[in-house]
Amino acid sequence: MKITVIGSGYVGLVTGACLAELGNSVFCLDVDARKIDILNNGGVPIYEPGLKEIIERNRAAGRLTFSTDVAASVAHGDIQFIAVGTPPDEDGSADLQYVVAAARNIGRHMTAFKVVVDKSTVPVGTGEKVRAAIAEELAARGADVGVTVVSNPEFLKEGAAVDDFMRPDRIVIGADTDAAGQQARDKMRELYAPLNRNHERILYMDVRSAEFTKYAANAMLATRISFMNELANLADKLDVDIENVRKGIGSDPRIGFSFLYAGTGYGGSCFPKDVQALVRSAGEFGQHLEILHAVESVNNQQKQILLGKITARLGEDLSGKTFAMWGLAFKPNTDDMRAAPSRVMVKELLKRGAKVVAFDPVSMEEARHAFELDLAELPAEQRRLSYSDAPMSAVDGADALIIMTEWKAFKSPDFGALKAALSQPLIFDGRNLYEPATMRKEGVEYHAIGRAGKHAG
Residues carrying an active site annotation: 270
Residues 6+ apart with CB under 8 A from 373: none
In angstroms, the CA 329 to CA 421 distance is 24
Do 134 and 98 meet the contact criterion of CB atoms below 8 Å apart?
Answer: no
Instruction: List C-alpha distances in Å: 90 to 27, 76, 295.
Output: 33, 36, 20
The closest of 291, 335, 314, 323 to 403, measured between CA atoms, is 323
